[in-house]
Amino acid sequence: MSTGAVQAVVDLGGDPVVRVLERVERRMSELAGEYGPLLARHAGETIAAGGKRLRPLLVCLAAGVPPPETDGLVRAAVAVELVHGATLVHDDVLDGSPLRRGRPSVLAAGGRGVATATGDLLFSRAFAELAGAGSVDAVRVLSRAACELAQGELLQRADVFAAQVSVERYLERCRLKTGVLFRAACELGALESGRADLVLGAFGERIGLAFQLLDDVLDISGPPERTGKPRGADLLDGTVTLPLILARERDPALGALDLRALEGPATMAEVCDRIAATGALEEATARALELVSSAKLTLPPLPGSQRAALELVADGVVERYS
């Protein structure tokens, strides 16, 4: 989501959303500084570079508009964002990525050991936050998502540099790698509001999946100044994404392409241009749009302002590509 789209959602939520998100920021900053200067530096930088705080925002909106300004809601929002930060740090370790959002990754700045420890710290603090609220159901929701995140990473590792990956397998990988944490954010918010049914989780999972599809489109289309990384960076790491899967079916040369042989930004730009020429980016984007539409249809009966805010988030996922 763009900054403007996020601000529109926050404006609709009003001052209570602003206050909850401010408390989330303060709490994360406090947690980052509790474990010595080295980890404090890297955990703090990871938290500070956290982007638009989309997942904490979803926790707030799923709880209500206006949301209840409870310690439990703040803890849930903090926990989701800490898990998100941990996965980014660990992904950079596994991929050997020197950059994260256009800045040196923890791996590049501190080395593999420090990066691994930083990710572990963020994970452990996330569950400590939820445990402090005393909600077994909340811990169960985030634990399920964390297990699925690990399954998604293992699936991605198994498919690295693969010559053939089915669309179905790719979508399941994206659901596990991205969708489940969006789902958990919505479920945690619903729990804090006292609702027994967690139907909002289906909404979150679908927009999380759409988010990942569009992220993979942006990896091919760029530009680098927008994405913070060179075009085709995921392909260079051996990650087979939907645009390439679709393009391989349409272009024999791409079907025979060995990702291991690719090197350098110029070569990657040529491959990205060839993928784009097949129409694969338009088809992948259309699939993301369909997911957003179906996500909005899954929303249960909600107060008008809450439904409007959640629909704005869904639309903002698409808007980030436009």
User: Residue 63, exposed/middle/buried by CB under 10 A (0-12, 13-18, 19+)?
Assistant: buried
pLDDT at 320: 61
State yes or no: pLDDT of 322 exceeds 60: no
Confidence of residue 35 (pLDDT cuts 50, 70, 90): confident
What's the token pair of residue 45?
């930088």
Given a contact cutoff of 8 angstroms between Cβ atoms, the answer to whether 295 and 316 are in contact is no
> What percentage of the chain reaches a pLDDT higher than 70?
95
Q: pLDDT band at 317, cuts 50/70/90?
A: confident
Contact predicate 53/21, CB 8 Å: yes
The model carries a pTM of 0.93
pLDDT digits (tens, 9 = 90+) for 160-198: 999 899 999 999 999 999 999 999 999 999 999 887 556
Do the beta carbons of residue 61 and residue 9 sit within 8 Å? yes
Give the residue-averaged pLDDT of 97-117: 81
Identity of residue 54: L
Based on its alpha-carbon atoms, the radius of gyration of the chain, rounded to whole angstroms, reads 19
pLDDT at 8: 85
Q: What is the pLDDT of residue 34?
A: 75
Angle between helices 265-277 and 280-298 (to 10 degrees): 70
pLDDT confidence of residue 196:
54
Whole-angstrom distance, CA of residue 108 vs CA of residue 256: 33
**In this predicted model, what pLDDT tens digit does every residue of 189-235 receive, in sequence order?**
999 988 755 679 999 999 999 999 999 999 999 776 666 677 898 89
Cα separation, 95 vs 299, in Å, equals: 36
Give how far the C-alpha of residue 151 lies from the chain's centroid of Cα atoms, to the nearest Å. Answer: 15
